[in-house]
Chain A
Amino acid sequence: MGFQGIFHVATVAALMGMIVGARSSRAEDAPVPPAPHHLEQFERHVRPLLVEQCQGCHGPDKQWAGLRLDSLAALLSGGDTGPALVPGRPDQSELLRRLRHADEEVRMPPPEAGERLTASQISAVEAWIMAGAAWPEAPPAGAAGIEKQKNHWAFQPLPQAPPGALDPAFIDRLVDTRLAGAGLARAPEADRRMLIRRVSYDLTGLPPEPEAVAAFVADPSPDAYERLVDRLLASPCYGEQQGRHWLDVARYSDTKGYVYGREERFFVHAPVYRDWVIGAFNDDLPYDRFVALQLAADRLCGEGDPDLAALGFLTTGRRFLGVTPDIVDDRIDVLTRGLLGLTVSCARCHDHKYDPVATADYYGLYGVFTSSYEKLVPVRATAGAAPPTPEFTAELAKRRRALDEGSLRLRAESSERFRDRVADYLFAQTELGKYPELGFDQIIAKDDLIAAIVRRWQAFLSPDRAAGDPVFSLLVALLPLRAEGFPETAAAKIAELKAAGAVIHPRILAAFETPPGSFREVADRYGKVFADIDAAWKTLCSQAVAASASLPQALPDAADEQLRQALYGPTSPCTIPDEPIANIETLMDSDSINQIWNLQNELDRWLIPQPGSAPQALALFDRGTPQDAQIFKRGNPANKGHVVPRRLPAAATGGDQGAFADGSGRLELARQIVAPANPLAARVWVNRVWRQHFGRGLVETPSDFGLRAEPPSHPELLDALAAGLIADGWSTKRLHRRIVTSHTYRQQSGRVPGAASAEEIDPENRLLWRMPVRRLEWEPFRDTLLVVSGDLDPAARGGRGSDVLAAGPGPHRRSVYCVVDRQFVPGVMSVFDFANPDLHMPKRLETTVPQQSLFALNHPFVAERARSLVRRLWPEESALEPGAAIERIWQAIYQRPPTSDEREGAIAFLASAPILEPPAPPPPPEEGKPAPSVPPPPLSPREQLVQTLLLSNELVFVD
């Protein structure tokens, strides 16, 4: 149904005149673009309606009554019966009349296509027409918009690295030029104590040792700083610090997010990925290789290669209870924002409003991920890991076998049930509404039909596939027939098929010698044919078993074998692929799924405690037959659009590189991202590295380089750093070195004498006339507490995550080795702005709230550090005189001696500190109950003093 013959000719003529008139008057004046708020109204209220309610029948795919409703021009030229609207004249707009019409036969959308629009929806359309039917010029923003996108700085090819780009002085030259342009100048160099603290934190996330500070301050050689930098870059702590930054990009977590009770919630492979990342930074793995491995290690290295762990970048995201579109969305997001600074996930539902990313681009990537499957695979332990005991290995093998055998058995039993009920699955094709494609979780009994299997039959029977198929062509022809008059229409249809010379399988032909009375009968006849074939196959198999012969591979009759393939073949809807339970859990009944999960958990729970000695990677592999994805209109998987080729958006590659042809396309994807011609990857990476050192990026939005991002503060510098990175073999370590050895980085921070005008001209310090003061993030803050108290074991690296607030004096491990549980992020971590591991967070926020102070004041973790430090440096029994003790404490915490004011203040503090009585011991435990916990002793004055220093701004801010 469409807009049909209701228009009066006179009206049409009048309308056409009006439109022409409107246009010509526009042509005389300069064209008046629609007001932004009208466009906004359109985008907000009207376009979604047109897309969802109308364009299914009046859009690019179908044009009922010759009408399209997907552009203003189309609406104005209208359909078979004339224009659909008159701008400014709701009363003369056919569109509105049809939306409102009382008669179901006339009203749009027709009853079978959708609900009647609500009054508020209709009035939105009316208001839009009244206001002149504002419609943005050609998507997304017209020729000018496309031009703007094309000229956008971030999409421009990188220039060649200019001469000298690898010299730190190059950075200074560009920064100085900008400063001079604003009448400003760089601040003088910071003193050495400040410098070593700054660069130690930046490169290793730890404060310098007091001895190292003293040595550096006293080092007269001109290259003392450069040698210091090299030492820090060579420290294994460097990889831990840089690794933690990367884990934010990768929205790393040790857990899957909320899972049902049947599933282990910890990932087996996450710590292996985390350790791989840290190792990669320490080895200075070139960034292009680093990225490529994280996207396609399965194609770049062999079986068991430790680099397979890199794929954790894609596979440590939230699991969304196993819902594929959401898992894939998370992967598209981490890939595009994390590596390319492009916000592609906007295009899940509609074309990106600002950037050149269309819905087709999103589903181009979607197909890459649905053409990959994931599998937990063992990888070789890296050197130094303790080898597993023989008992561990034997038990592991036992559990793996139990899983494999259990899964095989349960899958076979399910397949058997599906084969027994072919007739029911075929009949279910007439009532697909009962079997939602991507609905919700249901408790499925063994004798239920399974929605996903019904849908697999649907795909198997899709006209494209099955129309010429001798087995199913007849069924497919009869499927759409109505129940009324079925025997007659079916007989006619069969006769028509035969007359057209369609090849029909002899057994099917025999089954339909008489016309069927209903589709139920069609399904039953097919069911009978398949039951006979299955019986024949089983007889053949049992004969072979009885004769101790090898099992048959096929039925002797080729035509029969053709039928058997529909039941047993690899593409049969009855066959459940041999994939991990996470991938196939929609294909079975609830009891079978739970049984396989139990076996999987038995395996996972054996592996989780020992990630280092039996490391596993959750790798992706290409499926045998990669498939392009269909667009989900408005992001709705039940509403499929056309198929789109697997590829990267042209903007992300510096020009259309064509569709992927090799496997899933992940390898090509990886190569295109790190190709030297890619305009984004290198820019995004150098900006992230820059941001670590200056607190802000040259581009403010590290994961959004699109049209809405603020342009870089120093465009030439960004490009020179990016081009330099590539020219320098993508070495991240040398990039850090260039930055931190520049004089820009070595400036003073804080109040710079004589810089009052700079405060006025550039209060945000975007031009870098000084170094910004930065606050420690959660991990360096926690690590610092542990370092200064002597409670850190820096050599305890890798493996299973530790408890972040473990009690006692330790030794404790660095924060990067603590568990990240995305379902239960400890309050303290959220309060200290830890990046939400559920999402790719472009950068951490820096909030200041009293809960942070409460932690510092009251949590035993901080008090324990004070106790340790006092125990180590100034125990109660020590005879050290207070002045010397205070000196030692200051050195440990601040790596400097106290000023005389501070020394006197500390002595006065000790003299006036309240002394608390130890708490009364708890009463003896009641019978059968555990002993109550013993309250900790109160802090002694010395401990109070040290705790106060640990709370100070000097400890948490870096100059």
Chain B
Amino acid sequence: MTAAPPFPLSRRELLARSGLGLGLLGLAGVLGETSGPVQAGGDPLLEPLAVKAPHFAPRAKRVIHIFLNGGPSQVDTFDPKPALAKYADQPAPISFTTERKTGSPLPSPFGFARHGESGLEISDIFPKLAGHADRLAVIRSMHAQVPNHEPSLMLMNCGDSVQPRPSVGSWILYGLGTENQNLPGFVAMCPGGHPVKGPDNWQSGFLPGTLQGTSIDSQHTEIEKLIENIRSPHASATVQRHQLDWLQKLNAAHREARGDARLDARIHAFEMAFRMQVEAAEAFDLTRESALMRALYGDTVHGRQALIARRLLERGVRYVQLWHGAGQPWDNHEQIESNHRTLAGQIDQPVAALLTDLAERGMLDETLVLFGGEFGRTPTVELGGDGKAKAGRDHNHYGFSVWLAGGGIKGGQAYGATDDFGFRAVDKPVSVHDLHATMLHLLGFDHEQLTYRYAGRDFRLTDVSGTVLRELVG
């Protein structure tokens, strides 16, 4: 029996003494400056991506977030409002201040029809997606905080409109780790460049940098343009194997006199990197998919991106975010009819194909799909600087729609409602924190218990609010 040290056990000691694996430890503050019952030493976590168990049995194991950046219009997609037609060209019966001035109600130029057994109403710009109506739970009563892109992007992605905070993907990676150490655990794909606010959208905030999203410009097809440093421009695999074999000998001799776990971790990391080059290249290589499969998704940027996403999810990547494109494509201040039709046309088939494909592979049940933007658009027409309408809509954070599918979601329902004009969420309003709480719940977390100690406080994704939307859970 050895004397107890004169200070509390550190995390590493506890692990060493109890023989517990990392995955069995409670999560609260595992990585923080100090942590609840288990005191973390100054010892940083060696491998923040190791698999960990959530608080309770999860319904979903992975997430794909299809981000319609710029703000899709709810009244033109998933929230039909016939009342708009009655008031067209008249003063709006209700109107709220948004970023720009708006005028009369602008009826949707698109038709709506009921689909599936549920009769869920979907605009005719999503004909293929409509075939999945019974899988979708549309939340029609989302609301955000302000009608500006930047804070709303931060709120949707990181749960705080202003302060630098970890993104949803980083939190989930922090909570669960990733199941494939040869691929990044959190991938954000955006064709053609960055969305507004760029890497802030997939930041890790105060969490370890390795938990941030790996961003990929999915307009490229070459692997070396997709993942940083994935391929050597100056050596072949044979050369690297030769180098690594000798490196491990050098490291083994160096380790002899030291015996520090971090030395082993770094030795291990080189072998992982070596394998990753092969596996990542394989994951992104769509020529390995059948022609039929490629045709299902469509041979377009968005089709390829969605198919890559499925391959990543299949290989254990925890969180994939698919952005529509650089900047904010859905930000249709003008000509909403032609713009929304084009944009929806770009993703309708890929998203429908993804749902079909995930379902056929038996993956949909454990894959949570989130589809939506950072806010919605005004049901009233935007007025330009000259006071004339340009057939577009301004930003609207008072009410908007997103949908969820798969991963424990009860499909075929519309949850909550906006007012008669689709301006503001009035029935069962859902905050972004509620949405996040529900996502974490499906992943097996009590959103109030998934915390990280920083700056003297236990932070969480949902800040000090968030209610799980039980009606969405199937």
Query: Which residues does A use to contact B, with CB under 8 Å?
Result: 44, 48, 118, 120, 181-183, 258, 318, 320-321, 323, 326, 329, 333, 337, 343, 345-346, 352, 354-355, 434, 436, 439-443, 445, 695-697, 700-701, 703-704, 706, 708-711, 713, 749-751, 757, 760-764, 766-767, 773, 775, 823-825, 827-834, 836, 838-843, 845-860, 863, 899, 901-902, 905, 909, 912-914, 916, 935-939, 944, 947-949, 951-954, 956-957, 959
Q: A443-B100, A953-B255, A953-B267 are in contact. Are A825 and B199 (CB under 8 A)?
A: yes
Stretch at the interface among B54-62, B127-135, B257-265, B315-323: B257-265
Tell me the complex Cα distance, A928–B318, Å.
44
Tell me the complex Cα distance, A825–B213, Å.
13
Query: Which residues does B use to contact A, with CB under 8 Å?
Result: 2-3, 5-8, 10, 12-13, 16, 31, 33-34, 39, 41-49, 97-101, 145-148, 150-151, 162-164, 181-182, 184, 197-200, 203-206, 208-210, 212, 214, 228-236, 238-240, 242-243, 246-247, 249-251, 253-255, 257-260, 262-263, 265-270, 272-274, 276-277, 385, 448, 455-457, 464, 467
B-chain residues with CB within 8 Å of residue A957 when the two chains form the complex? 254, 258, 260, 262-263
A893 shortest CB reach to chain B, Å = 11
Contact B266 A710 (CB under 8 A): no
Partner of B234, one of A831, A833, A938: A938
Contact A936 B42 (CB under 8 A): no
B423 shortest CB reach to chain A, Å = 16
17 contacts between A and B (CB under 8 A): A333-B455, A346-B456, A440-B151, A443-B100, A703-B455, A750-B257, A773-B263, A832-B209, A836-B203, A838-B164, A848-B265, A853-B273, A853-B274, A860-B234, A905-B249, A909-B246, A953-B263
Tell me the complex Cα distance, A355–B249, Å.
51
B-chain residues with CB within 8 Å of residue A863 when the two chains form the complex? 233-235
Tell me the complex Cα distance, A953–B448, Å.
40
Partner of B197, one of A258, A696, A760, A839: A258
A-chain residues with CB within 8 Å of residue B204 when the two chains form the complex? 830, 836
B-chain residues with CB within 8 Å of residue A905 when the two chains form the complex? 246, 249-250
A171 shortest CB reach to chain B, Å = 19
A-chain residues with CB within 8 Å of residue B98 when the two chains form the complex? 442
Q: A850-B276, A913-B239, A935-B233 are in contact. Are A441 and B99 (CB under 8 A)?
A: yes
B-chain residues with CB within 8 Å of residue A709 when the two chains form the complex? 33-34
B-chain residues with CB within 8 Å of residue A441 when the two chains form the complex? 99, 146, 148
Q: A775-B262, A909-B242, A936-B234 are in contact. Are A850 and B272 (CB under 8 A)?
A: yes
A-chain residues with CB within 8 Å of residue B12 when the two chains form the complex? 763-764
A-chain residues with CB within 8 Å of residue B234 when the two chains form the complex? 858, 860, 863, 936-939
Tell me the complex Cα distance, A700–B268, Å.
28
Contact A849 B260 (CB under 8 A): no
Partner of B229, one of A836, A846, A859: A859
- The B contact surface, by secondary structure, is loop
Contact B276 A836 (CB under 8 A): no
A-chain residues with CB within 8 Å of residue B182 when the two chains form the complex? 850
Contact B198 A761 (CB under 8 A): no
Contact A850 B42 (CB under 8 A): no
Contact A442 B100 (CB under 8 A): yes
Partner of B231, one of A333, A858, A916, A949: A858
B-chain residues with CB within 8 Å of residue A318 when the two chains form the complex? 164
A-chain residues with CB within 8 Å of residue B184 when the two chains form the complex? 851
Contact B269 A44 (CB under 8 A): no
A-chain residues with CB within 8 Å of residue B210 when the two chains form the complex? 830-831, 847, 849, 851
Tell me the complex Cα distance, A775–B43, Å.
12
B163 shortest CB reach to chain A, Å = 7
Partner of A848, one of B47, B150, B162, B467: B47
Contact A847 B48 (CB under 8 A): yes
B-chain residues with CB within 8 Å of residue A445 when the two chains form the complex? 385
Give the tally of cross-chain contacts (CB within 8 A). Answer: 291
Tell me the complex Cα distance, A858–B249, Å.
20
Tell me the complex Cα distance, A901–B44, Å.
34
Contact A320 B273 (CB under 8 A): no
B224 shortest CB reach to chain A, Å = 9
Contact A857 B455 (CB under 8 A): no
Q: Which residue of B3, B255, B274, B455 has the most chain A CB atoms within 10 A of its CB atom?
A: B455
A905 shortest CB reach to chain B, Å = 6
A452 shortest CB reach to chain B, Å = 14
B58 shortest CB reach to chain A, Å = 23
A-chain residues with CB within 8 Å of residue B5 when the two chains form the complex? 182, 761-762, 764, 766-767
Contact A440 B255 (CB under 8 A): no
Partner of B262, one of A345, A762, A848, A952: A848
Q: A352-B456, A847-B44 are in contact. Are A323 and B199 (CB under 8 A)?
A: no
Tell me the complex Cα distance, A108–B220, Å.
59
Which 10 A-B residue pairs are closest in the complex by CB-CB distance? A343-B456, A440-B146, A853-B273, A830-B209, A750-B258, A696-B42, A838-B164, A850-B272, A850-B273, A848-B265
B-chain residues with CB within 8 Å of residue A834 when the two chains form the complex? 209
Q: A320-B162, A761-B3, A952-B247 are in contact. Are A857 and B229 (CB under 8 A)?
A: yes
B-chain residues with CB within 8 Å of residue A697 when the two chains form the complex? 42
Q: Which residue of A181, A849, A859, A939 has the most chain B CB atoms within 10 A of its CB atom?
A: A849
Q: A697-B42, A948-B243, A952-B251 are in contact. Are A823 and B198 (CB under 8 A)?
A: yes
B-chain residues with CB within 8 Å of residue A773 when the two chains form the complex? 258, 260, 262-263
Partner of B270, one of A708, A711, A951: A951
Contact A839 B164 (CB under 8 A): yes
Closest-by-CB residue of B relative to A906 is B246
Contact A849 B47 (CB under 8 A): yes
Contact A948 B250 (CB under 8 A): yes
A-chain residues with CB within 8 Å of residue B16 when the two chains form the complex? 763
Tell me the complex Cα distance, A914–B163, Å.
51
Partner of A901, one of B150, B151, B206, B253: B253
Tell me the complex Cα distance, A470–B234, Å.
82
* Known contacts A857-B273, A902-B250; 18 further A-B pairs (Cβ under 8 A): A326-B162, A346-B457, A434-B97, A439-B146, A706-B456, A823-B200, A830-B209, A833-B209, A836-B206, A839-B205, A851-B273, A853-B274, A857-B240, A914-B242, A936-B234, A948-B250, A952-B251, A954-B251
Tell me the complex Cα distance, A445–B387, Å.
11
Contact A845 B232 (CB under 8 A): no
Tell me the complex Cα distance, A773–B270, Å.
20
Tell me the complex Cα distance, A764–B467, Å.
41
Contact B273 A944 (CB under 8 A): no
Contact B246 A836 (CB under 8 A): no
Tell me the complex Cα distance, A849–B203, Å.
17
Partner of A916, one of B41, B148, B239: B239
Closest-by-CB residue of B relative to A757 is B2
A836 shortest CB reach to chain B, Å = 7
B-chain residues with CB within 8 Å of residue A708 when the two chains form the complex? 34, 456
Tell me the complex Cα distance, A183–B263, Å.
28
Closest-by-CB residue of A relative to B456 is A343
Contact A916 B235 (CB under 8 A): yes
Closest-by-CB residue of A relative to B467 is A120
Q: A704-B456, A764-B13, A845-B208 are in contact. Are A827 and B228 (CB under 8 A)?
A: yes
A-chain residues with CB within 8 Å of residue B100 when the two chains form the complex? 442-443
Tell me the complex Cα distance, A703–B206, Å.
14
Contact B273 A953 (CB under 8 A): no
Contact B273 A854 (CB under 8 A): yes
A-chain residues with CB within 8 Å of residue B47 when the two chains form the complex? 847-849
Partner of B247, one of A757, A833, A850, A951: A951
Closest-by-CB residue of A relative to B245 is A909
B-chain residues with CB within 8 Å of residue A443 when the two chains form the complex? 99-101
A100 shortest CB reach to chain B, Å = 19
Q: A850-B182, A938-B234 are in contact. Are A354 and B250 (CB under 8 A)?
A: no
B-chain residues with CB within 8 Å of residue A954 when the two chains form the complex? 250-251, 254
Contact A912 B242 (CB under 8 A): yes
Tell me the complex Cα distance, A760–B258, Å.
16
A775 shortest CB reach to chain B, Å = 6
B249 shortest CB reach to chain A, Å = 6
Q: Which residue of A355, A710, A947 has the most chain B CB atoms within 10 A of its CB atom?
A: A710
